[in-house]
Structure 1
Amino acid sequence: MKGMVFKGKCEVALLDFPDPLPGPGEAVIEMKASGMCGTDLHYYRHGMAESLEMLGMRDRMTSDPIIGGHEPCGVIVALGPDIDSRTFKVGDRVMVFHYAGCCHCDHCRTGWTQLCDNGARIYGVLEHGGHAEYMKVPASSLVHLPAEMSFKGGAAVACGTGTAYGALLRLNISARDTLAVYGLGPVGLSVAQLASAMGVEVFGIDINTDRLSRSKAFGVAHAIDGGKVDPVEEILKLTGGKGATCAVDCAGHEQVRNQAVRSTSIWGRIALIAVGGNLTLDVMKDLIARQRTIVGSFTFSEVGMKECAHFIADHGVEVDRVFSDEWKLSQAAEAYSNFNKQAGGKGVFTF
Structure 2
Amino acid sequence: MQSITFPGDGTVVLTEQPTPVPGPGEALVKIRASGMCGSDLHFLHGSFPVDPSVVQGHEPCGEVVAVGDGVPESQVKPGDRVLVHHYFGCGHCRRCRQGWPQMCETAPAATMAVDAAGGHAPYAAIPASSLFPMPDGLSFKAGAAIGCGTGTAWGAIKRAGGVEDTVTVVFGQGPVGLSATMFATALGARVIAVDIDDARLAKAREFGAVLTVNPRTENLVEKVSEITSGRLAEVVLETSGRAGDDVFTVLGTFGTAVFVGLPGEALFTTQAIYKKQWTMLTSWTCSSVELERCAAFVVAHDLPVDDLYSHTWRIEQAEEAYEWFGRQDAGKGVFEFD
Q: What TM-score, normalized by structure 2, do the two folds share?
A: 0.97
Q: How does 1:258-273 map to 2 (within 5 A)?
A: 258-273=245-260
CA distance in 2, matches of 1:342, 1:219: 23
Counterpart of 1:305 in structure 2 is: 291
Deviation at 1:277, TM superposition (A): 2.7
* Counterpart code for 1:104: H
Instruction: Give the total of aligned pairs.
Output: 336
Question: Which sections of structure 2, spanning at least 5 residues, go unmatched?
Answer: none
Q: Does 1:348 align with 2:337?
A: no
Deviation at 1:108, TM superposition (A): 0.6
Q: Does 1:26 align with 2:5?
A: no
Deviation at 1:43, TM superposition (A): 1.0
Q: How does 1:145-294 map to 2 (within 5 A)?
A: 145-253=134-242, 256-286=243-273, 288-294=274-280
Could you tell me the percent identity over the aligned residues? 39
CA distance in 2, matches of 1:297, 1:168: 9
Counterpart of 2:48 in structure 1 is: 51
CA distance in 2, matches of 1:17, 1:232: 53
Cα–Cα, structure 1 residues 232 and 9, in superposed 2: closer, same or farther, change >3 Å? farther
Question: Which sections of structure 1, spanning at least 5 residues, go unmatched?
Answer: 53-60
Q: Is the 8 A contact 1:92 1:144 kept in 2?
A: yes
The DSSP-based 3-state class of the residue aligned with 1:7 is coil
The DSSP-based 3-state class of the residue aligned with 1:229 is coil
The DSSP-based 3-state class of the residue aligned with 1:216 is helix
* Counterpart code for 2:115: L
* Counterpart code for 1:173: G
Using the TM superposition, name which of 157-166 and 207-216 deviates more. 207-216
CA distance in 2, matches of 1:284, 1:266: 15
CA distance in 2, matches of 1:98, 1:109: 16
The DSSP-based 3-state class of the residue aligned with 1:339 is helix
Using the TM superposition, name which of 226-235 and 161-170 deviates more. 226-235
The DSSP-based 3-state class of the residue aligned with 2:32 is strand
Q: What TM-score, normalized by structure 1, do the two folds share?
A: 0.93
- What RMSD, in angstroms, separates the aligned Cα atoms of the two structures? 1.1
* Counterpart code for 1:339: F
* Counterpart code for 2:31: M
Superimposed CA distance per residue, residues 109-135 of structure 1 (whole angstroms, 9 cap, x where no aligned partner): 110110111110001111110000101
CA distance in 2, matches of 1:224, 1:114: 35
Counterpart of 1:56 in structure 2 is: none
Superimposed CA distance per residue, residues 173-214 of structure 1 (whole angstroms, 9 cap, x where no aligned partner): 232211000011111000000111111100000110111111
Q: Is the 8 A contact 2:163 2:235 kept in 1?
A: no
Q: Is the 8 A contact 2:88 2:110 kept in 1?
A: yes
Counterpart of 2:64 in structure 1 is: 76
* Counterpart code for 2:180: V
CA distance in 1, matches of 2:186, 2:310: 21
Counterpart of 2:314 in structure 1 is: 328
